[in-house]
Amino acid sequence: MVFIWNTWKRFEYNFLYFCPMRIDILTILPQLLESPFSDSILKRAQTKGLVEVHIHDLRSYSTNKHKKVDDYAFGGGAGMVMTIQPIADCIDELKSEREYDEIMYMTPDGEVWDQPTANSLSMGENFILLCGHYKGIDERIREKYITKEVSIGDYVLSGGELAAAVVADSLIRLIPGVLNDETSALTDSFQDNLLAPPVYTRPANYEGMEVPKVLLSGNFKEIEKWRSEKALERTKTRRPDILKD
């Protein structure tokens, strides 16, 4: 229900004031983020003017003559730490131009990103996603600027870029008008704490494996009933942890 309400509010908001979502991604590897936003749904969302994605190369903000963005960790130990200056200058510049709903730092020790978080943040307007590398960023950046620390799961990636693309994708597809069929985000897995039911397409018989008869029946009430049952069954066997009531 909350999701439907938020979707409506965003629609009304876009309709009345037309204000696209804006996502600024800060990275030392901008090339890594080019392709996720240049194809398919995420590209179309930008072409339609529903979202603006801006990739910022942190190296270009470095005042160091070699454009350095990292340094040795105080106290020693292996691994470099991303320095304050390029990150602070980039965030200060962006913050002077607009207000941000969240300044997120992509890090394996953050809060695990999930569908309810995506649903609620998809109502926001402006987001910064800061991608970490090496041993991470100087802790004082986290203290001074970061409003939300986000992980995409309990495993370690080489950098925050792929995680930022995941988070941005999950937000962008919730913006009304991004998906062709507005209701299809509502039937995604995890909306309503249920996994999605199985789907089939032609041929109806593949090497003797037949599509469930009900799906060919044209009886939409029965089809809906079958889909609800399968969604529940799947959730019970695969993800009992997300099942509520």
The binding site for ligand 6GU (CB under 6 A) comprises: 106-108, 150-153, 155-157, 159-160, 163
Residue 163 CB, shortest distance to ligand 6GU, in Å, is: 3
Indicate the residue among 155 and 220 with the shorter CB distance to ligand 6GU.
Answer: 155
Measured in whole angstroms, the distance separating CA 209 from the mean position of its chain's CA atoms is 36
Residue 176 CB, shortest distance to ligand 6GU, in Å, is: 27
Give the tokens for residue 145. Answer: 């600027």
Indicate the residue among 77 and 208 with the shorter CB distance to ligand 6GU.
Answer: 77
Residues 6 or more apart whose CB falls under 8 angstroms from that of 41 comprise: 169, 172, 173, 178, 179
Residue 190 CB, shortest distance to ligand 6GU, in Å, is: 18
Indicate the residue among 20 and 159 with the shorter CB distance to ligand 6GU.
Answer: 159
Residue type, position 62, single letter: S
Do 38 and 67 form a contact (C-beta atoms < 8 A)?
no
Packing angle between helix 161-172 and helix 40-47, nearest 10 degrees? 60
Backbone angles phi, psi at 144, to 5 degrees: -85, -40
Residue 226 CB, shortest distance to ligand 6GU, in Å, is: 36
